[in-house]
């Protein structure tokens, strides 16, 4: 079996990097992640009425009202910390997400409303941007 020359590998990597960067901080990717990992509890419309909600001891939050509950400012840091596990919730099995390390690593920065950058995993950033987009 032949191996690709180093220059070809570099070219392949160079072509792959812009694609990876283009998906950084992508609300559309966040929407897909939300539907896959969050909608069963929080609902397709993120209103807290997912099909699993009736069997949960702690009812899911209406994620479309996070800004309203925070004085009109989207709570980026709190949302990030709930998703990545730094602010654990009992209803999430004491660690969020309960489905493993999918939301960890590949760090990117998002700016808070005060302009301060906050470092978080790319998937967390995508989810946060999606949640920020759907606020009432």
Q: What is the pLDDT of residue 134?
A: 98
With respect to residue 79, please indicate whether it lies within any of the assigned structural domains: yes
Please check the confidence at residue 5 and state whether its pLDDT lies above 60: no
Residue 10 inside a domain? The answer is no
- For residue 63, tell me if it sits in a domain: yes
CA–CA distance, 72 with 135 (Å, rounded to integer):
10
pLDDT of residue 88: 72
The number of domains in the chain is: 1
d(CA 68, CA 65): 5
50: CATH: 1.10.760
Cis peptide before 120 (omega within 30 of 0): no
Rounded Cα distance, 88 and 81, in Å: 8
- Encoding tokens for residue 46? 């993120």
pLDDT per residue as tens digits for the range 15-51: 333 333 333 469 999 999 999 999 999 999 999 999 9
**Is residue 74 one of the residues assigned to a domain?**
yes
Residues 6+ apart with CB under 8 A from 12: 4
Q: How would residue 112 be classed by pLDDT, with cut points 50, 70 and 90?
A: confident
Q: What range does the domain containing 43 cover?
A: 26-133
Residue 9 lies in a domain: no
Q: Which residue has the tokens 């596990």?
A: 85
The answer to whether position 14 is within a domain reads: no
- Three-state DSSP class for 134? coil
How many residues does this entry show for the chain? 136
pTM of structure: 0.74
Q: What is the mean pLDDT of the chain?
A: 78
Kindly state whether residue 121 falls inside one of the protein's structural domains: yes
pLDDT tens digits for 57-109? 888 999 999 999 999 999 999 998 888 877 777 665 555 555 556 777 788 88
């Amino acid at each position: 079996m032949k191996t690709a020359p180093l220059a070809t590998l570099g070219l392949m990597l160079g072509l792959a990097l812009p694609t990876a960067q283009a998906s950084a901080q992508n609300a559309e990717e966040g929407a897909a992640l939300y539907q896959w990992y969050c909608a069963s509890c929080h609902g397709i419309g993120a209103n807290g009425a997912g099909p699993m909600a009736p069997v949960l001891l702690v009812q899911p939050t209406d994620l479309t009202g996070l800004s309203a509950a925070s004085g009109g400012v989207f709570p980026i840091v709190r949302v990030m910390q709930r998703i990545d596990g730094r602010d654990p919730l009992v209803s999430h099995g004491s660690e969020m997400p309960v489905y493993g390390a999918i939301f960890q690593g590949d760090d990117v920065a998002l700016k808070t409303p005060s302009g301060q950058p906050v470092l978080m995993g790319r998937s967390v950033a995508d989810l946060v941007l999606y949640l920020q987009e759907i606020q009432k």
